[in-house]
Amino acid sequence: MIETTTDPSALRRRCDDERKKGQRVGFVPTMGFLHHGHVSLIERCRDVADFVVVSIFVNPTQFGPNEDLESYPRDAEGDRDKCQKAGADLIFAPPVSAIYPEGHRTSVSVQDLGDGLCGAKRPGHFDGVCTVVSKLFNMVGPAVAFFGEKDYQQLQIIKQMTRDLDFPIEVLSGPTIREPDGLAMSSRNAYLTPEHRRQATCLNRGLTAIADAARKAPLPASRAVQIAKEIVEAENDARIDYLEIRHSGNLQPSDQVGLGQSVVAIAVFFGSTRLIDNRVI
């Protein structure tokens, strides 16, 4: 049976024990309600690490006041089963008080990279992400940590934070895992009604249309946005939160889709459910 702990001190001791034996510790941070995207990250981590830790923690500091903290889907038993089958060695599932004890006043912020896209739409979100990830990095002390490319802006911010704060950690990524119809896997897909689930494939269809057009000829950003916008807005219940072309490295706005240097990022609401996706082109 896979090991589980809720205590940061016990987590540190366990990881220290493995390091003393010469084992390479790997880490996959999650908010639980695991799907095949998470599983693929655990499996990738298993390939390069000797001892794999998965954290399951719904982090309150990355949720806004009107967001879905309380209703965020949870499945402790299912998560434990998926972690074990994917090859994880230890689950860290702390209570909020273990991560943010009384008197906690420190936060971590990465400038510029979090100003646009999800950062602009969800103020304080990435400060919450960086704070919890830096705390988890300190608790686990991994040699390598894995994050999903579906959260592309988050991935770039975590890489920047890791460099800037001199964490001795290799940050690696895994590709977006999709359903057979192209919808990016996400824990929030569970919120979708059957009709919204059908319509939600428009995100990937819009991104694919931009990628196809960009391979044929230079593509101005304004035209790229229009291509995807027409596809998304053809769905009755889709409401675009943002649809932007950015440089893939520094996330600054780009006026043209360039092969190998652009990321198309999109967020769309279906009712109160917000889905994100992206495509590096």
Q: In this structure, what are the phi and psi dihedrals at residue 24, rounded to the nearest 5 degrees? A: -90, 120
**Cα–Cα distance measured from residue 89 to residue 102, given in angstroms and rounded to the nearest whole number:** 30
Token pair in block for residue 247:
């440089």
DSSP 8-state code for residue 26: E
**Cα–Cα distance measured from residue 210 to residue 17, given in angstroms and rounded to the nearest whole number:** 49
Query: Which is catalytic among the residues 35, 38, 104, 196?
Result: 38
**Cα–Cα distance measured from residue 6 to residue 92, given in angstroms and rounded to the nearest whole number:** 6
User: What is the Cα gyration radius of the chain?
Assistant: 19
41 in Cβ contact with 111 (< 8 Å): no
**Cα–Cα distance measured from residue 43 to residue 52, given in angstroms and rounded to the nearest whole number:** 9
Helix (H, G, I), strand (E, B) or coil at 67: coil
Cβ neighbours, 10 Å, residue 64:
13
What phi-psi label fits residue 202: left (phi over 0), alpha (psi between -120 and 50 degrees) or beta?
Answer: alpha
Decide the pairing of beta strands 238-247 and 262-270: antiparallel
Cβ neighbours, 10 Å, residue 258:
16
Angle at which helix 221-233 crosses helix 202-216, to 10 degrees, equals: 150
**Cα–Cα distance measured from residue 139 to residue 221, given in angstroms and rounded to the nearest whole number:** 42
Q: 38 catalytic, yes or no?
A: yes
Enumerate the active-site residues. Answer: 38
